[in-house]
Amino acid sequence: MGGPGGLPAPRRGLTAKGRQRGQSPLLLALLTALSLCAPGARSEEAPATGSDYGGVGLIEMRNARFRPDGTLEAGASLRRQRRFWFASFQALPWLETTFRVAERLDATQGSGTTSDRALDLKIRLLPETDWTPAVALGFQDMIGTGLYADEYLVASKRWWDLDFTLGIGWGRLGTGADFDNPLIGLSRSFADRPRSVGQGGTVRTGTRVAAILCGRDRAVGVRLADGTEITGAAIVSAADPRRTFVEWLQSPPAGASSLSTEAFTVIEQQVKQHYGVDVLPTMSTGASDMAQIRSKGIQCYGIGPAIDSEDGPKGFGAHSDQERILEAELHRFVRYQYDIVMALAGAK
């Protein structure tokens, strides 16, 4: 059967248009494979974005991107109950540094805000190439309280308009204890993370003290007039002795003054230094002078009177009919007491 002009008719399905249709799935598959294998955009073409903590990142997630060398920037980020103020410096092409001050809710006191400083470092381990991602190692909150401390290893790779980031973090960035931080081999501080937020100090005005609270062997806190109790390792009073020891001191520990205290040790040392004799503790009639204070649990020691080896055999001395001592002995006694006070003060 012939076609127009006597030419043989083409076989069905073998027209030029039909051949293109038959080959299009193969061409599409080939183009798709080539597009997937084609190198993505280079790392320097990927724009760096700022993170909430300062430095380059994605909101609160770090990536392996860096600013151009020498870049200095400052900024702030605001979020609920927190404000971050930061300054970042691209000190070297492979080193990013960030100093940050965070204002956060003061959970220790239960109200108001407190500040927290931090220093972050991010180090480029590998630059991005046509076939491999950029890799970076980072350390967050290296100084300060450690509230935001973490370490991370992150990789970033860009394919055309998509920039992918994959990483792993420890500390604040960690969500589970799946495996140990490899940096523990360098320092145990990467395993145990005590948060030294401290309690600081609070000045209270117009608040009266009602009592000084005592434990088994020492004062442990104070009770205010409104019933609030505040405890501490040491209680210091600037009030007069009667108010401190008679009115405020409640339920002091019972018992005589101890011979194993720091004060008694210092007295022994100074007696040997100034008089060349050993201390023999005695309970004399003078002990009644300190009975009221000792009943409140305060350690008390008597250190007088001065010794006069010349007039003593004659019947003169402290509490005698003719109470007198040599002037030189008075000087030695004053120096002896002065050295006791200075030794105790120096130990604090």
Separation of alpha carbons 247 and 242, rounded Å: 7
Of 342, 345, 306, nearest to 326 (Cα)?
306
State how many domains the chain has.
3
Domain boundary among 199, 220, 248: 248
In a domain, residue 10? The reply is no
Run of H or E residues at 270: helix 262-275
In a domain, residue 254? The reply is no
In a domain, residue 127? The reply is yes
Give yes or no: residues 98 and 150 share one domain.
Answer: yes
> What would the two tokens of residue 303 be?
């250190």
Please tell me the predicted confidence (pLDDT) of residue 252.
65
Of 87, 121, 140, 79, nearest to 104 (Cα)?
79
Give yes or no: residues 174 and 242 share one domain.
Answer: no
Give yes or no: residues 69 and 144 share one domain.
Answer: yes
Separation of alpha carbons 167 and 264, rounded Å: 61
Give yes or no: residues 267 and 242 share one domain.
Answer: no
> What would the two tokens of residue 282 be?
């005695």
In a domain, residue 70? The reply is yes
pLDDT, averaged per 10 consecutive residues of the chain (348 residues), comes to 46 41 50 49 64 86 90 87 88 92 71 79 92 91 76 89 86 71 68 58 78 79 88 80 78 64 85 81 62 71 69 66 74 88 79
Of 198, 224, 202, 201, nearest to 211 (Cα)?
224
Q: What is the DSSP letter of 248?
A: I
Please tell me the predicted confidence (pLDDT) of residue 65.
92
Give yes or no: residues 47 and 186 share one domain.
Answer: yes
Give yes or no: residues 72 and 156 share one domain.
Answer: yes
Please tell me the predicted confidence (pLDDT) of residue 34.
44
Cβ-based burial of 305 (10 A; exposed 0-12, middle 13-18, buried ≥19): middle
Give yes or no: residues 143 and 81 share one domain.
Answer: yes
CA neighbours closer than 13 Å in the CB half-sphere of residue 257: 20
Give yes or no: residues 65 and 146 share one domain.
Answer: yes
In a domain, residue 329? The reply is yes
Of 126, 131, 129, 123, nearest to 151 (Cα)?
123
Cβ-based burial of 137 (10 A; exposed 0-12, middle 13-18, buried ≥19): middle
Give yes or no: residues 222 and 91 share one domain.
Answer: no
Give yes or no: residues 164 and 76 share one domain.
Answer: yes
Give yes or no: residues 186 and 215 share one domain.
Answer: no
User: Structure pTM?
Assistant: 0.44
Domain boundary among 248, 274, 295: 248
In a domain, residue 34? The reply is no
Separation of alpha carbons 293 and 298, rounded Å: 6
Separation of alpha carbons 348 and 332, rounded Å: 25
Please tell me the predicted confidence (pLDDT) of residue 126.
93
Separation of alpha carbons 104 and 133, rounded Å: 36
Please tell me the predicted confidence (pLDDT) of residue 142.
78
Question: Cα-atom radius of gyration of the chain, to the nearest Å?
Answer: 41
In a domain, residue 11? The reply is no
Structural domain that includes position 324: 262-347
> What would the two tokens of residue 237 be?
């009073």
In a domain, residue 222? The reply is yes
- Distance set, CA 221 to CA 42, 208, 214, 227, 248 (Å): 65, 14, 7, 12, 11
Give yes or no: residues 156 and 105 share one domain.
Answer: yes
Separation of alpha carbons 58 and 9, rounded Å: 66
